[in-house]
Amino acid sequence: MRETWEERPTGVPGLVIVVAVADNGVIGADGSLPWRLSADLRRVKDLTMGKPLIMGRRTYETIGRPLPGRESVVITRNPQFAPEGITVMPNFEVALVAASEVAREMGTDEGIAFGGSEIYAKALPLAKRIERTEIHLSPDGDTKFPEFDPADWIEVAREDYPVGIDGAAAHSFVTLERR
C-alpha cells in the first residue's frame, strides 16, 4: 500500500491549499464569500478538477452540493451529518488519510485543502503548495486565513489583474511553494 500524505515528510507531494484571500486576510463573511469574481471560480475549477477536496462542514454548506468532477471529504464533529455523495470524517487527520485514498482511486497524487480557517491552519504545516488568489479589497468578514510564516514559502508565479471593466475586483493569482 502506498504511504498516505501524513506519513510523508512535510512538503512532499500531496496537499495543496487553494484559497482566495482579501488584502486584510478575510476569506469569508456570513457563510459566503464577500466578493464575486468569476475568474477566480474558473481558476479554482481548473486547480481542483479530478482531485479530492478536504473542507469543513460550513464550507460544504456554503457550496451545498458535491462539486462535479471532484470528491468532497467533509469534516464535522456531528455524527448525524451524512449528505449523499460526499465522504464525512470526524477530524482533519482521518480526513487526510481518507483523501489520500480517494486521490489514489481518482488517479491523482494531489488533494486540496479547501477551507475554512481551521482546515487551512491544519493543512499549513503539511502542504507543499499554496494556490492563492489575492483579492485586492478589504471587506468586512468573520473568517480569516490563519497567520503563517511567509519565510517558509517562495513565490514561484504571479499574475496581476486590474479592476475589470465589469467592476470585478483587482486580483492576483499567486503560487507559493514550500522552501
Ligand X SMILES: NC(=O)c1ccc[n+]([C@@H]2O[C@H](COP(=O)([O-])OP(=O)(O)OC[C@H]3O[C@@H](n4cnc5c(N)ncnc54)[C@H](OP(=O)(O)O)[C@@H]3O)[C@@H](O)[C@H]2O)c1
111 contacts ligand X (rule: CB under 6 A): no
78 contacts ligand X (rule: CB under 6 A): yes
Kindly state the number of chain residues that form the binding site for ligand X, as judged by CB under 6 A: 28
User: In this chain, which stretch among 1-9, 52-60, 98-106, 149-157 interacts with ligand X, using CB under 6 A?
Assistant: 52-60
User: In this chain, which stretch among 53-61, 98-106, 159-167, 171-179 interacts with ligand X, using CB under 6 A?
Assistant: 53-61
Q: Give 63's contacts (C-beta < 8 A, 6+ positions apart).
A: 55, 72
20 contacts ligand X (rule: CB under 6 A): yes
Helix (H) or strand (E) holding 99: helix 92-106
96 contacts ligand X (rule: CB under 6 A): no
115 contacts ligand X (rule: CB under 6 A): yes
Which whole-number Å values give the CA distances from 67 to 58, 73, 114, in the listed order?
Answer: 15, 11, 12
Separation between Cα atoms, residue 136 and residue 83, nearest integer Å: 35
- Retrieve residue 99's grid coordinates: 483523501
CB 107 → ligand X: shortest distance, Å? 25
Q: Where does the chain show beta strands of DSSP type E? A: 15-22, 26-28, 52-56, 71-75, 87-89, 111-113, 129-135, 143-144, 153-161, 171-178
Site string for ligand X, 27-46 (x = CB under 6 A): xx--xxx-------------
Binding site for ligand X (CB under 6 A): 19-20, 27-28, 31-33, 55-59, 62, 75-78, 81, 90-92, 114-119, 143
